Chains A and B, each alone.
Chain A
Amino acid sequence: GDSVTQMEGPVTLSEEAFLTINCTYTATGYPSLFWYVQYPGEGLQLLLKATKADDKGSNKGFEATYRKETTSFHLEKGSVQVSDSAVYFCALIQGSNYKLTFGKGTLLTVNP
């Protein structure tokens, strides 16, 4: 079945550092790929998405590019802020049923 593997955390960075959270997927078809973020005490929020190969999703300074050849969707940000501290989930949807398959999540802590 479909699966998502993302780097295990926790990840601790200093403010303004460069962030990469790796995500790879296994799917039989051509899934849509997502990054969700969960801030402390809140529900998951869609951060960005990409629906086809070579698409780049971006939002709030975060970017991720859909790489079909490496089945990856790595999340990057050039300069993190303390307010970016959260859990980040990589996910995919296969087909039109809207069923999300999630990775295990990566806890990011950004220190001032």
Chain B
Amino acid sequence: GAVVSQHPSRVICKSGTSVKIECRSLDFQATTMFWYRQFPKQSLMLMATSNEGSKATYEQGVEKDKFLINHASLTLSTLTVTSAHPEDSSFYICSARGVLQGTGTDTQYFGPGTRLTVL
């Protein structure tokens, strides 16, 4: 079964509004969570890395005031797209790094993604 969930799976919003996407690790504590953006027929682009209780580290070219990341607990990270515009429409994917019980290995698990459409 899924070990990382994302909510919502799809969201459509009007230009200028803010949208929050949640990423949860299920059954394990994530030491680090990552947020990616995927354009059609393009690879996943890392946006930021977040560790619980500290500020996120953003990749070059990613606006930190535009994409707010909060890693509130070891099982939850949120990405808020502020004042969304049509060019923010994309597929956003999170991943969580941790040790899943019973595996004994430190692995990165991916969420199913969130399709954001800004009208």
Contact = CB atoms under 8 A, between A and B. Distances in A.
Interface residues of A, number: 18
B119 to A, nearest CB: 23
19 contacts: A36-B110, A43-B109, A43-B110, A44-B95, A44-B110, A45-B110, A89-B43, A89-B44, A98-B32, A98-B34, A98-B108, A99-B34, A99-B46, A99-B49, A100-B44, A100-B95, A104-B42, A104-B43, A105-B43
A45 to B, nearest CB: 7
Interface of A: 4, 36, 41-46, 89, 97-105
A1 to B, nearest CB: 10
A56 B67 CA distance: 39
Nearest to B3: A43
Interface in B1-55: 2, 4, 6, 32, 34, 41-44, 46, 49
Q: How large is the interface on B (under 10, 10 to 19, 20 to 34, 35 or more residues)?
A: 20 to 34
The 8 A-B pairs with the shortest beta carbon distances in the complex, nearest first, are A44-B110, A43-B110, A43-B112, A102-B43, A104-B43, A102-B44, A43-B111, A98-B97
Given A43-B4, A100-B108, 14 more contacts: A4-B43, A43-B2, A43-B109, A43-B113, A44-B44, A44-B95, A45-B110, A97-B49, A98-B32, A98-B34, A100-B34, A102-B44, A104-B42, A105-B41
Contacts of B32: 98
B49 A43 contact: no
